Amino acid sequence: MELVTVAISLPAVFALAFKAGIFAYIRLLHVHSPQARIYLYFLFVLAVQNIVEISHFYNLARGVMPHFEITAFYAFGILALALFFHLSLSFASSDFANIKARLVLAFVYLYAIILEVLLIFTPWLISDFTRMTYTVTRVPGPLYSAFEVFAFSISLGVICLLAYAATRQDTTQKRLKAKLMLAAIIPMILVVTGVLALLHFGVKRFNASLIYPFATTYFLSVTAYAIHQHRLFDIGFLVPWSKVRKRKTAFYGRIRAMIAEIADLGSVREAVHRLADTLRCPVALVSTGKPVLAVAGGALLWAGFALCRR
């Protein structure tokens, strides 16, 4: 039994170690944007969840019912959902002075605080805990549906916010960030909503302890990349039928064709014109001896540019 318990706790241990690595990576980058701060809070809350999850497995192995650990797991889970929504809203709107955004955030955090009070001080949200084979599950109280509504609403709201940001944000960088976030949340949303739905209908055979740490770690990894890197990979390139893939595939094809032809061109001017046709933009070849050696694609005005000298 103890070996099985240790094996089940390994995903939480690995997830906690990976979160420590993400934290060290973020500290090295020295990024201090509002998104980065919200992300760090979210990272901390999920790390604490891993710690109490490991502690709960340890107590179960000793034959002790981990009431404190499971209550803490749910408490930090409620806070994580609120921060999850806050982080997603930061991707959809950078204007937190907007009265609508502030009201929505205030409502979400107020709802979360009410759930925390009900969880910690009353039996109305969760009345008790019962042991499964290798873990523990909750016995719902009369107001447990308030938590279910909160979790499902946050999940739906996050998807809507990121879908909006992926198509409506004003810069390509912001749209790419939202697309990456949207791809990152899919496993986590499926686990959270799936477990809640199964528990709602009385199905207790599925153990989220093995999958949830991996889903959150994947989400945190992709989100860390989206927040803290300036050159982002467009997730649309991985979708075979997407416009992004078609456009970039055609562009890479033109680049390969130009590289194959450039050795056979008769002059520098022809090479510059071929490059301008490939890139579909004005091109000028400049040198220290002469301001402009060759131009193509409507770049004649560049001939008047002065050379920069140190």
Q: Cα(131)–Cα(273) distance, rounded to whole angstroms?
A: 73
Is 309 within the bounds of a domain? no
Assess whether 163 and 263 both reside in one domain.
no
Q: Among the three residues 198, 233, 268, which one is the final residue of a domain in this structure? A: 233
Read off φ and ψ for residue 137, nearest 5 degrees.
-130, 170
Assess whether 213 and 300 both reside in one domain.
no
Alpha-carbon distances of 263 from 269, 276, 282, rounded to whole Å: 13, 16, 21
Is the separation of the CB atoms in 53 and 126 below 8 Å?
no
Is 310 within the bounds of a domain? no
As given in the structure block, the two tokens for residue 7 are 């094996």
Q: Collapse the DSSP code of 66 into the 3-class scheme (helix H, G, I; strand E, B; otherwise coil) and give the result.
A: coil
Is 115 within the bounds of a domain? yes
Assess whether 59 and 195 both reside in one domain.
yes
Q: What is the pLDDT of residue 251?
A: 66
Is 53 within the bounds of a domain? yes
Assess whether 112 and 259 both reside in one domain.
no
The owner of tokens 């390139």 is 237
Is 257 within the bounds of a domain? yes
> What kind and span of H or E run contains 92?
helix 67-92
Count structural domains, the chain.
Answer: 2
Q: Among the three residues 233, 263, 283, which one is the final residue of a domain in this structure? A: 233
For residue 90, what is the domain's CATH number?
Answer: 1.20.1070.10
pLDDT tens profile 105-131: 999 999 999 999 999 999 999 998 887
Assess whether 112 and 71 both reside in one domain.
yes
Is the separation of the CB atoms in 65 and 46 below 8 Å?
no
Assess whether 222 and 271 both reside in one domain.
no
Q: Among the three residues 181, 202, 233, which one is the final residue of a domain in this structure? A: 233
Assess whether 128 and 209 both reside in one domain.
yes
Q: How many CB atoms lie within 10 A of CB 298?
A: 11
Domain range holding 99?
Answer: 2-233
Assess whether 162 and 260 both reside in one domain.
no
Q: What is the pLDDT of residue 143?
A: 93
Q: Write out the chain's pLDDT in tens, 310 residues.
A: 466 666 777 888 888 888 888 888 777 776 677 788 888 899 899 999 889 988 888 888 777 888 898 899 999 999 999 999 998 888 877 655 577 888 899 999 999 999 999 999 999 999 988 877 667 777 889 999 999 899 989 988 998 888 888 887 777 777 778 888 888 888 778 777 777 777 666 666 555 666 777 788 888 888 877 776 656 555 554 455 556 556 666 666 777 777 777 666 666 677 777 777 776 777 766 665 555 555 555 545 555 554 444 4
Q: Cα(93)–Cα(86) distance, rounded to whole angstroms?
A: 10
Is 103 within the bounds of a domain? yes
Assess whether 183 and 263 both reside in one domain.
no
Per residue, the 3-state secondary structure of 123-185, as one string, reads CCCEEEEEECCCCEEEEECCCHHHHHHHHHHHHHHHHHHHHHHHHHCCCHHHHHHHHHHHHHH
Assess whether 10 and 90 both reside in one domain.
yes
Q: What is the pLDDT of residue 186?
A: 80
Q: What is the pLDDT of residue 309?
A: 47
Is the separation of the CB atoms in 49 and 80 below 8 Å?
yes
Assess whether 141 and 280 both reside in one domain.
no
Its pTM stands at 0.72
Is 238 within the bounds of a domain? no
Assess whether 122 and 48 both reside in one domain.
yes
Is 32 within the bounds of a domain? yes
Give me the sign of the Cα torsion angle 84, 87, 88, 93.
Answer: positive
